Amino acid sequence: MSKMFFQTGRKKSFSSYKLAISAAIALGITASSVAQAADTPVAIGISGWTGFAPLTLADKAGIFKKNGLDVTLKKVPQQSRHLAIASGDLQCAATTVETYLTWNAAGVAVKQIVQLDKSYGADGIAVRPGINKITDLKGKTISVDAPGTSSYFLLAWMLDKNGMSVKDVKLATLGPDAAAHAFLAGQNDAAVSYEPYLSSIRQSPDKGKILATTLDYPMVMDTLGCTPDFLNKNPKAAQALVNSYFEALAMIKSDPDKSNEIMGAAVKETGKQFAEEASYLRWQDLEQNKKFFGGEITSFSKEAATLLTQMKILRKTPDYDALFDPQFVANASVAK
């Protein structure tokens, strides 16, 4: 409509201009309504995990909105996030790389489009005094989230690297938050958790200690993925999601105090508290994303698939190329 009124080859008179504006108003096509209509709705499933905070920042700081997106962030437990996708309640979700293997194997197709973070000590196992190495966990009771979650996979990964499996320990199924609280309350011998909950254990050395983290076993990395249907129908919106993530990282770099306050408020923390917890991970910038989608994602997925198959969580070898779409990182623009 704007082209018809304002972009002909002839020079318009002021009266013609007023007539055009009047016609647009009569049709209800004001600039604000056009912008509002252009906002693509998308629901994204997340958790309180510190690594997902740039998505919260992009939402609260108006970055998503500025880029033509009407984003709703929904906190959904990791073990049921794919069910929300299958029901249509979510179009996208953030989770760990290996989780997409189990989701796609379960018939819930989701493609990763941007890497969010890598854990640098933000995920780990807390233990009671007297437990000094992974093999000391044999026969012990460990609080850990359900199979199919990142916490369960982290435990299985660490045990496997030490010649053990989950069959060598006793499991008490608790989510990361509940696992940390139970550990602080004196329950069970060990707990698998992540930030911000792991810091509550770090701050209570009388209760126990952190035995191992992703500094010792670097295997926790998160991505944002969307359904193929959403990506096919809304490629511009998908690109805007990826661009918005990088724009949020730029804001964190240029205004860390304000950014930390916004991200901390989402989990009821001060900016200082949030910044401390965020120091245990690394958000991934554009160059790191290009490297990740250039080969890292496939090599890690193959190693993860081997372990998941041994655990009988995966029944067949997945199509690794179907797990991600690198075009949105390749075409990403970064705000200056």
Round the average pLDDT of the chain to a whole number and report it: 88
What would the mean pLDDT of 285-299 be, rounded to a whole number?
A: 97
Phi-psi sector, 326: left (phi>0), alpha (psi -120 to 50), beta: alpha
What would the mean pLDDT of 265-279 be, rounded to a whole number?
A: 93
> Counting runs of H as helices and runs of E as strands, what totals does the chain give?
17, 11
* pLDDT at residue 148, as a whole number: 80
Structure confidence at residue 318 as a pLDDT band (50, 70, 90): confident
Give the tens place of pLDDT for each residue, 111-163. Answer: 999 999 999 999 999 999 999 999 999 999 999 999 888 899 999 999 999 99
AA identity, residue 154: L
Q: What angle do CA 252, 253, 257 make, to 5 degrees?
A: 55
CB 201 within 8 A of CB 182: no
Give the C-alpha distances (Å, rounded to integers) separating 203 from 67, 119, 134, 216: 40, 19, 22, 20
Span 123-213: which CATH code? Answer: 3.40.190.10
* pLDDT at residue 79, as a whole number: 85
* pLDDT at residue 262, as a whole number: 97
Give the predicted TM-score (pTM) of the model: 0.81
Pick 9 or 83 by higher pLDDT: 83
What would the mean pLDDT of 226-243 be, rounded to a whole number?
A: 98
Q: Take residue 113 and report the two structure tokens written for it.
A: 């489009």
* pLDDT at residue 333, as a whole number: 83
| Helix locations, 161-255, DSSP H | 176-184, 197-202, 228-233, 235-254
Give the C-alpha distances (Å, rounded to integers) separating 222 from 13, 121, 253: 56, 14, 20
Q: What are phi and psi of 193, to 5 degrees?
A: -150, -175
Cβ-Cβ contacts under 8 Å for 63 (sequence gap 6 or more)? 57, 244, 247, 248, 251
Q: Is the pLDDT of residue 329 over 80?
A: yes
Give the C-alpha distances (Å, rounded to integers) separating 113 from 93, 184, 225, 231, 326: 11, 37, 5, 9, 6
Do the domains 39-116+222-330 and 123-213 sit in the same CATH topology, yes or no? yes
Structure confidence at residue 304 as a pLDDT band (50, 70, 90): very high
For the chain, list the strands marked E by DSSP. 40-46, 69-75, 92-96, 111-119, 123-127, 141-144, 170-173, 190-194, 209-213, 221-226, 281-283
Give the tens place of pLDDT for each residue, 7-62. Answer: 333 333 334 334 433 443 344 433 333 334 469 999 999 998 899 999 999 999 99
Domain regions of the chain by residue span = 2-35, 39-116+222-330, 123-213
The alpha carbons of the chain give a radius of gyration, in whole angstroms, of: 23
* pLDDT at residue 78, as a whole number: 87
Q: Is the pLDDT of residue 103 over 70?
A: yes
Cβ-Cβ contacts under 8 Å for 309 (sequence gap 6 or more)? 315, 317
* pLDDT at residue 335, as a whole number: 62
Q: Is the pLDDT of residue 230 over 60?
A: yes
Q: Is the pLDDT of residue 277 over 70?
A: yes
What would the mean pLDDT of 292-317 be, rounded to a whole number?
A: 93
CATH class of the structural domain 39-116+222-330: alpha beta
Structure confidence at residue 316 as a pLDDT band (50, 70, 90): confident
Cβ-Cβ contacts under 8 Å for 133 (sequence gap 6 or more)? 162, 211
